[in-house]
Amino acid sequence: MECPKCQAEMESVRFEDIEVDRCIRCGGLWFDALEHDELRGRTGSEALDTGPTWQAGMHNVQPKVFCPRDGTLMVRMVNTPQPELWVESCPVCGGTFFDAGEFTEFKEQTVGKLLRDRRRYGASKEGE
């Protein structure tokens, strides 16, 4: 498979029972439908995200990104809690592409939210 951002070859990498594709040049990650959500909750899965994070923003300037699976024009998605995080999603196969470093950021948002929720929940319980 070819990277949708830099057109380099992608290699298959595995975390536990889930296999994703990682670009050998830019480090971007391709997740088949819902794999990123599945891996988001697994401790240590950010180890898949080995690419240089400083490159991520460079790839966001590409006006068109095509799905490496089926060639469909992908849709740029902005994560509302993290507006700096842009990922591309295929409307046909449901796959998602994360630039290097973006999957780690995606996961960290969950950890931060959990900590904030715990503080809020703990604070409201103490006040009762």
Residue 106 lies in a domain: yes
Quick count: other Cβ atoms within 10 Å of Cβ 75?
Answer: 13
Name the average pLDDT for the chain. 84
Q: Which of 59-68, 71-80, 91-100 shows the highest mean pLDDT?
A: 91-100
Nearest to 36 by CA among 70, 79, 65, 73: 79
| pLDDT over 60 at 110, yes or no | no
Query: What is the span of the domain harbouring residue 85?
Result: 10-127
If one counts the domains in the chain, the total is 1
What digits encode the pLDDT tens for the residues 55-75?
666 677 788 999 999 999 999
Residue 15 lies in a domain: yes
What digits encode the pLDDT tens for the residues 9-37?
999 999 999 999 999 999 999 999 999 99
The reported pTM is: 0.80
Tokens of 119: 């503080």
Q: Give the 3-state secondary structure of 14-83.
A: EECCEEEEEECCCCCEEECCCHHHHHHCCCCHHHHCCCCHHHHHHHCCCCCCECCCCCCECEEEEECCEE
